[in-house]
């Protein structure tokens, strides 16, 4: 990791080579998402989108106990319907920005990922969890429902039965159960979490960015449309890759029996 840490009010930003590490830094409130955190995350992911040096992202929570324990219940409690609609939209738009970033974002989940925290994890492209992590959509216990895309992304990730059960019952599940339901990609012992996440992030950061973008976009688009439109999208993304020098490098390296070096152009 580089020594340069940029501190915002609620975020820490570091670079490790071409990997941007975004840490939500509100450990005293288990990194709960208040309006300020949503706004800072949105601005940071806009910067990441515009920065060609950033080729992969790790998103995590500070403090060891939580990834994110949800939307800020203190703020939630005071919302009227108009403010609630804006709060929901603000969270949804930020999470959609992450989902459509076109660069892989790994959620590193060492503890609680509840409510808005689980929603934030689900808009990332991969979720790597410690065996101690806990997942859930407990909003029902507060008299509301998930408002940052949880009903929609959980449905798509884990299917209707699991989405209904998690949201209706509101009881957290452990990392192993989340893995079985397809919510989490990998579960590792807590002391191996950082190594597992950063190894994968480094792999993404040295891959061909245009190919990564094509995969991310084609799978995202394909999940929302029919097979013909999805195949057409895949063809376009595939064709775009052939205009990159990374594609020349990847194929040449294979034929010359050497490791490719993808420069990102
Ligand atoms: N919003 C605001 N503050 C939160 C929060 C949230 N979603 N989750 C935790 N906190 C705060 C607590 O109020 C507490 O603050 P305080 O020390 O100023 O009182 C601090 O974080 C530590 O949480 P605490 O509840 O004392 O820790 P715990 O280990 O006993 O319990 C949880 C951990 C995650 C089980 C519990 O905090 C919890 O249930 N949080 C809410 C989860 C939730 O419903 N999320 C969905 C929100 S829509």
Backbone angles phi, psi at 174, to 5 degrees: -85, 175
Tell me the best of 62, 69, 78 to mutate to test the pocket of ligand 1, counting ligand atoms within 8 Å of each CB and taking the most.
69
Query: Measured in angstroms, how far is the CA atom of residue 39 from the centroid of ligand 1?
Result: 21
Question: Mean pLDDT for each consecutive 10-residue tract of the chain (265 residues)?
Answer: 79 97 98 98 98 98 97 97 98 98 98 98 98 98 98 98 98 98 98 98 98 97 96 96 96 97 94
CB-based contact 245:209 (threshold 8 Å): no
Cβ contact 262:208 at 8 Å = yes
Whole-angstrom distance, CA of residue 3 vs CA of residue 21: 12
- Taking CA atoms only, the protein residue closest to ligand 1 atom 11 is 29
30: CA distance to ligand 1 center in Å?
Answer: 6
179 phi, psi to nearest 5 deg: -65, -45
Q: Which atom of ligand 1 is nearest to the CA of 144?
A: 48
Residue with CA nearest ligand 1 atom 37: 69
Nearest ligand 1 atom to the CA of 66 is: 34
Q: Which one of 73, 143, 151 would you pick to mutate in the ligand 1 pocket, going by the greatest count of ligand atoms within 8 A of its CB? A: 73
Predicted pLDDT of residue 175: 98
What is the token pair recorded at 1? 């990791």
Of 208, 216, 217, the closest CA to residue 251 belongs to 208
Query: Within 10 A of 62 (CB to CB), how many other CB atoms are there?
Result: 18
Distance 116 CA to ligand 1 centre (A): 12
Q: Whole-model pTM?
A: 0.97
Structure token pair of residue 95: 């999470």
Contacts of 44 (CB under 8 A, 6+ apart): 8, 11, 13, 22
Q: In residues, how long is the chain?
A: 265
Mutate to test the pocket of ligand 1, among 26, 27, 30 (most ligand atoms within 8 A of CB): 30
DSSP assigned state of 111: S
133 CB contacts (<8 Å, ≥6 apart)? 67, 109, 110, 111, 112, 113, 174, 175, 178, 184, 187
Query: How confident is the model at residue 4, as a pLDDT?
Result: 77
Which strand (E) or helix (H) includes residue 39? helix 35-50
With a 6 Å cutoff on the Cβ, whether 134 touches ligand 1 is: no
User: DSSP letter string over 203-244?
Assistant: HHHTS-HHHHHHHHHHHHHHTTS-HHHHHHHHHHHHHHHTTS
CB 133 within 8 A of CB 178: yes
User: What letter does residue 29 receive in the DSSP assignment?
Assistant: G
DSSP-derived secondary structure letter, 96: H
Ligand 1 atom closest to the Cα of residue 172 is 35
Assess whether the C-beta atom of 74 lies below 6 angstroms from ligand 1: yes
Atom of ligand 1 nearest to the CA of 134: 34
Whether ligand 1 lies within 6 angstroms of the CB of 119 is answered as no
pLDDT at 153: 98
| 3-state DSSP assignment of residue 104 | coil
Give yes or no for residue 105 CB within 6 A of ligand 1.
Answer: no
Relative orientation angle of helices 116-123 and 81-99, to the nearest 10 degrees: 30
What residues are labeled active site?
119, 139
**According to the model, what pLDDT value does residue 3 have?**
58
């Amino acid at each position: 990791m580089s020594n340069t840490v940029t501190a915002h009010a609620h975020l820490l930003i570091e670079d490790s080579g071409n990997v941007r590490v975004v840490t939500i830094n509100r450990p005293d409130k288990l990194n709960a998402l208040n309006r300020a955190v949503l706004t800072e995350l949105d601005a940071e992911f806009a910067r990441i989108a515009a920065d060609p040096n950033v080729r992969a992202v790790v998103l995590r929570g500070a403090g060891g106990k939580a990834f994110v324990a949800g939307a800020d219940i203190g703020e939630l409690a005071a919302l009227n319907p108009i403010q609630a609609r804006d709060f929901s939209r603000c969270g949804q738009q930020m999470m959609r920005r992450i989902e459509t970033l076109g660069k892989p974002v790994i959620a590193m989940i060492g503890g609680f990922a509840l409510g808005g925290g689980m929603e934030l994890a689900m808009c990332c492209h991969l979720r790597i969890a410690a065996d101690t992590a806990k997942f859930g959509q407990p909003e029902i216990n507060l008299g509301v429902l998930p408002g940052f895309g949880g009903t929609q992304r959980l449905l798509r990730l884990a299917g209707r039965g699991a989405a209904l059960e998690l949201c209706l019952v509101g009881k957290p599940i452990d990392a192993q159960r989340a893995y079985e339901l397809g919510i989490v990609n990998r579960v590792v012992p807590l002391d191996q979490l950082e190594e597992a996440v950063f190894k994968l992030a480094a792999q993404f950061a040295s891959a061909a960015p245009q190919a990564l973008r094509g995969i991310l976009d084609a799978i995202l688009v394909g999940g929302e449309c029919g097979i013909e439109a999805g195949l057409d999208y895949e063809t376009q993304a595939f064709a775009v890759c052939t205009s990159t020098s990374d594609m020349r490098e990847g194929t040449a390296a294979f034929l010359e029996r050497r490791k490719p070096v993808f420069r990102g152009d």
